[in-house]
């Protein structure tokens, strides 16, 4: 699981306080209503033959900006001047500009067919998980299919890759339904998913991002680059769609991924659970929460203390892996019987390494958890067992006579350690 960074974007952009302005170049046109502002400034720069876009952004003393131009600054600059501001305002452009972590920053994805209509970068391509052009239903592309070179602003605005290939002539690939669905989610468009459609744009992005951090393939060096190649993005989009649109099966896939993606999940469950509830906080997600409860109850092979306030009462009551003391209390069974039934294979159990104990006492320690559904299944038998001596009394046999009865298979069920046979009561009554 990758680190979840909640730091607001504005922290990284404190230089915004300075007064910068966009220089009106010789050749210019307005920003398109859905044009990505930073790409717009790049477009002005290429149109006018500048070598660097920083020439176009100057401070009060008319010297060009030294820092890298951020996406939010580009948005503010493009939307400030009468000559550059788009004639039509799209809320999504501002939402994305102000939320750094949902922007794909290091590669440039394009739709060749859109570029054929007009040579500019659409904001819809800039989301971290953008994979599809919803107008043409084709996959976006981040490199030249002929020479493999990554797209950049210069080649896009000149409509020519370094190898000579026209960007608008890139070969096309149809988008899968999963990519199409996720694209609709991140563009804040309807998907016929009752719950997701009711969320606002930022909350949709938040949930997609949260799931991504869990299900992304391990080899993606995402944290350093804040960028995903289209090849990885297609895999991610399919997993995202499966999680959000795959019903219970899809959501369990996601939860399973969480369990397997981390080594020491005993420590990670709490942060995950908290984060989960923060992301899926709406009542609308009660269905997903139920899946999580069911999942924890079934697969969480770890101890959950009764005093844990994070979990609901129903999780604590239904947790499938209780400790021996809990089993004793709840089912009125003796410790030796539980251990013997486990040794015989009637109850599945897991040995858990107590990491916390080791940290504190520097000695290894293990504890055992028992699978509750097995206990419930075997309960009539377990509660119906009585001791060797009691059988002798009931049947009026000597110990030797009883032993020979056992050897001749007169009892359907015995639990073995020699010194303490236990028998099913009903066998004796019959």
Q: Which of 133, 179, 185, 269 binds Zn ion (CB under 5 A)?
A: 133
- Applying CB under 5 A, the span of 13-21, 72-80, 142-150, 296-304 interacting with Zn ion comes to 142-150
* Residue placing its CB nearer to Zn ion in the complex, 149 or 290: 149
- Applying CB under 5 A, the span of 143-151, 257-265, 355-363, 411-419 interacting with Zn ion comes to 143-151
| 156-195 residues near Zn ion, rule: CB under 5 A | 161, 163, 165
**To 10 degrees, what angle do helices 201-215 and 247-261 make?**
50
* Residue placing its CB nearer to Zn ion in the complex, 150 or 356: 150
* Residue placing its CB nearer to Zn ion in the complex, 157 or 371: 157
Site size for Zn ion, by CB under 5 A? 13
CA dist 41 and 152 (Å) reads 14
* Residue placing its CB nearer to Zn ion in the complex, 119 or 405: 119
E strand or H helix at 21: strand 21-22
User: Which residues, other chains included, contact 117 with Cβ-Cβ below 8 Å and sequence gap of 6+?
Assistant: none
147 binds Zn ion (CB under 5 A): yes
* Owner of token pair 């009691």: 390
* Residue placing its CB nearer to Zn ion in the complex, 125 or 311: 125
Q: Which of 30, 136, 301, 348 binds Zn ion (CB under 5 A)?
A: 136
| Residues facing 387 on adjacent strands | 422
E strand or H helix at 395: helix 388-395
* Least distance (Å) between residue 349 CB and Zn ion: 57
* Least distance (Å) between residue 133 CB and Zn ion: 3
CA dist 330 and 317 (Å) reads 10
* Owner of token pair 């001596």: 389
| 89-128 residues near Zn ion, rule: CB under 5 A | 111, 113-114
* Least distance (Å) between residue 53 CB and Zn ion: 23
DSSP codes, 56-115? GEE-TTS-B--SPPPHHHHHHHHTTSTTTS-SS--HHHHHHHT-GGGB--SS--B-HHHH
User: Residues in the site for Zn ion, rule: CB under 5 A?
Assistant: 111, 113-114, 133, 135-136, 144, 146-147, 149, 161, 163, 165
């Amino acid at each position: 699981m990758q680190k979840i960074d909640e730091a607001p974007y504005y922290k990284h952009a404190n230089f915004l306080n300075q007064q910068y302005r966009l220089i009106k170049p010789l050749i210019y046109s307005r920003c398109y209503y859905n044009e990505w502002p930073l790409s717009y400034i790049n477009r002005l720069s290429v149109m006018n033959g500048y070598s660097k876009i920083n020439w176009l952004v100057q401070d009060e003393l008319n010297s060009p900006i030294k820092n890298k131009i951020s996406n939010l600054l580009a948005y503010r600059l493009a939307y400030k001047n009468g000559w550059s501001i788009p004639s039509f305002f799209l809320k999504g452009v501002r939402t994305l500009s102000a939320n750094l972590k949902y922007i794909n920053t290091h590669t440039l994805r394009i739709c060749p067919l859109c570029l054929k209509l007009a040579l500019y970068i659409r904001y819809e391509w800039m989301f971290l998980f953008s994979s599809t052009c919803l107008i043409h239903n084709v996959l976006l592309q981040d490199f030249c299919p002929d020479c493999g070179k990554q797209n950049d602003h210069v080649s896009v605005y000149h409509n020519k890759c370094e190898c000579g290939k026209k960007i608008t002539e890139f070969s096309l690939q149809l988008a899968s339904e999963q990519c199409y669905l996720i694209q609709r989610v991140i563009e804040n468009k309807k998907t016929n998913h009752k719950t997701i459609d009711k969320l606002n744009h930022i909350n949709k992005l938040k949930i997609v991002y949260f799931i991504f951090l869990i299900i992304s393939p391990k080899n993606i060096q995402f944290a350093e680059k804040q960028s995903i190649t289209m090849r990885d993005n297609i895999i991610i989009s399919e997993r995202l769609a499966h999680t959000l649109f795959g019903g219970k099966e899809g959501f369990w896939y996601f939860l399973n991924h969480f369990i397997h993606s981390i080594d020491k999940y005993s420590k990670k469950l709490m942060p995950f659970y908290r984060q989960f509830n923060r992301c899926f906080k709406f009542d609308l997600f009660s269905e997903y929460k139920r899946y999580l409860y069911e999942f924890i109850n079934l697969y969480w092979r770890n101890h959950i203390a009764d005093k844990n306030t994070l979990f609901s009462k129903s999780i604590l009551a239904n947790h499938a892996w209780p400790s021996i003391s809990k089993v004793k209390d709840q089912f009125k069974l003796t410790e030796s019987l539980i251990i013997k039934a486990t040794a015989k294979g009637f109850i599945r159990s897991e040995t858990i390494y107590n990491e916390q104990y080791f940290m504190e006492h520097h000695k290894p320690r293990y504890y055992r958890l028992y699978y509750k559904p097995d206990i419930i299944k075997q309960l009539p038998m377990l509660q119906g067992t009585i001791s060797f001596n009691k059988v002798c009394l009931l049947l009026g046999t000597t110990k030797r006579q009883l032993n020979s009865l056992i050897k001749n298979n007169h009892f359907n069920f015995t639990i073995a350690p020699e010194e303490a046979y236990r028998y099913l009561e009903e066998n004796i009554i019959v």
